[in-house]
Structure 1
Amino acid sequence: MPLLYVTDLAYPARGRRYCDEDIFLTSRLREHFALALCHPADARALMPGFDAVIVRNSGPVLHYQEEYDAFRAAALAAGTAVYNPLTGRADMAGKQYLLDLTAAGYPVIPTVDDPARLGELPQVPEYVVKPKQGADSIGLTFTATPDGPAGEVLIQPRIDFAYEVSFYFVDDTFQYALHAPDPARRWELRPYEPTGEDLAFARSFVEWNTLSHGIQRVDACRAPSGELLLVELEDLNPYLSLDLVPAGVRDAFVTSLAGSLRSFLG
C-alpha cells in the first residue's frame, strides 16, 4: 500500500531540524510501507496516485493556506485516507478550540478573542496577543493593553510559568514526554517522567479530540500554583523531537506508528 508522505524538508524551524526527523521516520516506515515524499504544496496534485497520505513536518499551514485548503477539500471529496484524519478538533481546525476549552472549564490558559471581553481573564500586568489564524508564534506580542479586531485575535494572560512540558501520543496511547526546564528556551528539551496526574491531564485532551487514530502532542505549562495548563493541542503535524529520546523509546514510537497506520488503513 503506497503512502504519500508530506513534509517540508527545507522549512527553517527554530531550534529544530524537520528534515532529520522525517528522514529517520521515512527510513523506518519503509520497512512496513512503500512511500514517497512530497512538499505540502504538491500534495493535492500527487495524492491520486497513492492509497493514503500521511502529513508530517509540513510547517505552518498559513505559509501555503490556499494549497492546503485545496488539498483538504480534494481529499474529503475523494474519500482519500489522510493521517492524521481530517476530523481533528484542535490545531487542525484552527485556534477556536482554546476558546471552547476555556468555556467548558478545562485546565487551559484562559483565552478570549475580543478585547472587549478582557474582564473575563485574570487581571495581569501583561497579556499575550496573537493572530487567531497564526502558528509557530508568528505575530505573537506582549502588551498591557490588548487590542485587535474581535474574532481575529487570541488574548491570554501572560503566565510566569515554571516550565513547559509536552506529552506525545499515538492514537490514545502515551509514548513519552519532554520538558523545557528554561522557559526562555522552548526547544531545549529533556526527557520528563510524568506523574499519574500529569498523564490524566494530557489524556483528557486526547479524549476530548476524539481522533480514532493519529499522532497528537499535548503542550502544557506548569503554572505558579503548581497545576498544568494547556498551551496547545497539536493534531495536524506535531514535531516529535525524536532525536532527544532514547533509542528504545524511538523504536517503540515507530512500532506504535506503523501499527496505527495499518489499523487506520485497514
Structure 2
Amino acid sequence: MKTLLYLTDLYYEAKGRKYYEEDLYITSKLKSHFNILIGHPHQALSNLKSADLVVFRNTGSILGYQEYFEQLLAEVKEKNILTFNSFDGKADIMGKQYLLDLTDSDYPVIPSVESVKEIDKIGRHEKYIVKLKNGADSIGMEILQYETLLNLNPQGKLIQPLIDFEYEVSFYYLNDKFQYALYAPDKNKRWELEEYEPTDSDLVFSESFIKWNNIKHGITRVDACRLKNNTLLLVELEDLNPFLSIELLPENKRNWFINNLIDALKVSLNFTKKVFK
C-alpha cells in the first residue's frame, strides 16, 4: 500500500464546523486503500519523507504559521513532492489577490479593491466589508460605514461592498469534476447547510472558476451568493483546504464522493488521468 501523510488540525475551532469529525470519518474510509499517517500541519516538514502523497486537509487558517507554510511550499516545489491539493492554485492558497484580479477581468465576483482611491470602481454603498488579504474564517473582517471607511483608509486590505443577497451556495469539485452542492437557506446561519440541486447555469458559473484556476488535482469549493435578481457572484474560491460538510449528504452520495476521492488520490500517486464516475 502507498502511504498518505494526512495533515489536519483536529482541534481547530471554527464556527459551525467540526474538523475532527470530518477528517476521522474520511481517514476511516481511506485506511483500506492506503497506509494513513495523521499529522498536524506544523509537523509537515519533518514528515515529508515518510509518505508517498501529502494530503492537505482541514488545517485551519495558515495565518498563525505563515512563515512555516511558505517553507513547506518551497520544500514541496524543490523536492517535487506530491501533494493533494496540488499547490499550484491561483485562489485562496495565494491569499485574496485573486478577487482583485477577477474583478479587473470582469468575472462575476463580488467587486473588490484594495484602496479607497479605487472605491469608484465598486460604486458608492452604505456599508463595506474590509478583509485581510491573507485572511480566512472571517479573521480580521470588519463592516464599515462609507464615511468610516474613508476616514480609516485601510491599507493593503480587501474592500468590498456589503451585498444584500438571498442565500449562499457552495459547489464542490474533485479535480475538475462537479461532485455536489450545499446551500444555507437562512443567510444569517451560513453553516446550517442543506443539499442543493444546481441548475445548468449554476454549473456554468462554478465551472468557469474551476477552469480559471486550473489546479492539477485536489478538492475545490466554489462559494457564491445568490442575488435578488437570481444571478450568482463569487464570494470565495477555496483551493487549499476546503471544509466539505459531507456529513450533510445522503449516504449514497457520501459514499459516491468518498469512492471518487479514493480514485483521485490513486490517480495523483500514479501520475495518470482518469475520468471520475
Output the TM-score relative to the length of structure 2.
0.94
Distance 1:148 1:92 in 2: 26
Contact 2:88 2:216 in 1 (8 A): no
Q: Does residue 248 of the first structure (1) align with residue 249 of the second (2)?
A: no
| Aligned pairs (5 A) from 1:17-56 | 17-56=18-57
Amino acid at match of 1:228: L
Distance 1:116 1:132 in 2: 17
Amino acid at match of 1:176: Y
**1:102-146 deviation line (CA, Å, top 9, x unaligned):** 111110000001111111112211011111111110111111232
Runs of 4+ in 1 over 4 A off after TM superposition: none
**1:64-113 deviation line (CA, Å, top 9, x unaligned):** 21221111111111111011111011001111110111111110000001
Distance 2:244 2:214 in 1: 20
Q: Does residue 135 of the first structure (1) align with residue 136 of the second (2)?
A: yes
Q: Which residue of 2 aligns with 1:179?
A: 183
Q: Which residue of 1 aligns with 2:232?
A: 228
Q: Which residue of 2 aligns with 1:215?
A: 219
Q: Gaps (5+ residues) in structure 1? A: none
Q: Which residue of 1 aligns with 2:99?
A: 98
The percentage of counterpart residues that share the same residue type is 48
Amino acid at match of 2:137: D
Q: Which residue of 2 aligns with 1:167?
A: 171
Distance 1:195 1:142 in 2: 32
Amino acid at match of 1:189: L
Q: Gaps (5+ residues) in structure 2? A: 271-277
Distance 1:162 1:170 in 2: 27
| Aligned pairs (5 A) from 1:112-127 | 112-127=113-128
Q: Does residue 198 of the first structure (1) align with residue 225 of the second (2)?
A: no
| Alpha-carbon shift at residue 148 of structure 1 (Å) | 4.1
Distance 1:78 1:148, change over 3 A: farther
| Alpha-carbon shift at residue 212 of structure 1 (Å) | 2.4
Distance 2:30 2:124 in 1: 49
- Aligned residue for 2:235, secondary structure, equals strand
**1:213-254 deviation line (CA, Å, top 9, x unaligned):** 110000000012220000000000000001111111111111
**1:143-179 deviation line (CA, Å, top 9, x unaligned):** 12324444x1000010110000000010111111000
Pairwise CA RMSD = 1.0
